[in-house]
Amino acid sequence: MNRRSFLISGSALAAAAAAPALKAQTVAPKSTVSMVVGFPAGGGTDVLARLLGQKFSDMWGVPVVVENRPGAAGVIAARHTAKQKNDGTALLVAHVNSHGIGPGLRTDLGYSVERDFTPIGLIGKTPTILIGGANQPAKTLKDLVELCKAKPGEIVFGSAGTGSAQHLALEIFKAEAGINVLHVPYSGSAPLMTDVIGGHIHYAFEGMTTAKPLIESGKVIALAQTLQNRSKSLPDVPTIAEQGYPGFEASIWFALVGPGGMSPDMVARVNADLNKALQTPELIARLAQAGAEDGGGSPERLAQFMQSEQVKFATVIKDAGISVKS
């Protein structure tokens, strides 16, 4: 082969290698995109989705409309999205409840995470925070474990509801620490926090958005957080992992998915634009406010993460005998 032929062949190979990436950049949703959120308008997930939707709209040149379908901890929104067209015009802000906990908890889920959804990318993970009322006696994780062992079944932990991410964080911790406590489920975080502050509930695992202002105001104390590394939003609160339980993690996470069977080119385009959006000042600020970190990466990363979360939570749910009414 002469030098000219070699150069032509090399150029052809380079062009062939670049073709999928170039093709993905020319693919984009062609009409209005519905971004479905499983929580009411005005909440943290909704605000995040609207910021993300505006970035996508600017990138794609089509309207991106947030569609709120609250109920059943995100399951109703997931059921709806699973039935939509898979051409990129329907996206879902998936949640740990609908795509991590739900498969092991509910018999009426109505969808398969693997079959009915296409992973696009992780938006972020937030820790749950182990908090207690300001007047509770145990103010460190070590002291709390000792207290629970000294008074089995007497220390009261609340949660935002049976089968919630906060409840599952408690069950994972109970198993790791070998403790027996009384669990009292509430119908949400607001009434739970009222009773934690009032001393009717001793301790609880709660999300960053709700817990942080109460910690900063001194209304509750923070004993631990549940990611592997300390959140930048609460750098002085140690993790459970660093306090004698290595590997412990129980996050509240959000991810972008679409209906099952989306084309690889469309997935590549939306994933690339998600990663770009997550690096913009507006999204960085919003994620920091919620304590959300570790977002971005490939669709494969999200698929593996969701699968590992399903396995983890299914085991906890089975071992703890947790069930919810259909």
pLDDT tens column, 46-78: 989 999 999 999 999 999 999 999 988 899 999
Same domain? 150 vs 228: yes
Q: Both 55 and 75 in a single domain? A: yes
Reported as a pLDDT band with limits 50, 70 and 90, residue 238 is: very high
How confident is the model over 70-93, as a mean pLDDT? Answer: 95
CA quadruple 68, 73, 77, 81: dihedral positive or negative?
positive
Alpha helices in 151-298 (DSSP H): 165-177, 189-198, 208-216, 264-277, 281-290
| Confidence (pLDDT) at 251 | 92
Round the average pLDDT of the chain to a whole number and report it.
91
- Residue 128 has a pLDDT of 95
SS3 199: coil
Q: Are residues 47 and 85 in the same domain?
A: yes
> What CATH number should be reported for the domain holding residue 174?
3.40.190.10
Residue 321, CA atoms < 13 Å, CB-side half-sphere: 1
Nearest to 52 by CA among 30, 35, 32: 35
In the DSSP assignment, the letter for residue 155 is: S
The pLDDT tens digits for 261-294 are: 999 999 999 999 999 999 999 999 989 888 899 9
pLDDT of residue 326: 55
Mean pLDDT, to the nearest integer, of 215-244? 96
Whether 24 is in a domain gets the answer no
What pLDDT does residue 324 have?
Answer: 82
Query: Average pLDDT, stretch 157-181?
Result: 95
**Band (25; pLDDT cuts 50, 70, 90):** low
Instruction: Please state the domain count of the chain.
Output: 2
Contact at 8 Å (CB) between 165 and 101? yes
Pairing of strands 251-259, 90-95: antiparallel
Q: Which pLDDT score is estimated for 147? A: 98
Of 202, 219, 243, which residue is a domain's last? 243
Q: Is the pLDDT of residue 188 over 90?
A: no
Q: Is 185 exposed, middle or buried (0-12, 13-18, 19+ CB in 10 A)?
A: middle
Domain that holds residue 227: 127-243
Whether 121 and 261 map to the same domain: the answer is: yes
Are 228 and 139 contained in the same domain? Answer: yes
Domain-located, residue 10: no
Question: 147-165, pLDDT tens digit by residue?
Answer: 999 999 999 999 999 999 9
Clarify whether residues 113 and 184 are in a common domain.
no
Q: What is the pLDDT of residues 101-133, one digit of tens each?
A: 999 999 999 999 999 999 999 999 999 999 999
Same domain membership, residue 133 and residue 111: no
Banded model confidence at residue 16, pLDDT cuts 50, 70, 90: very low
pLDDT at 8 over 80: no
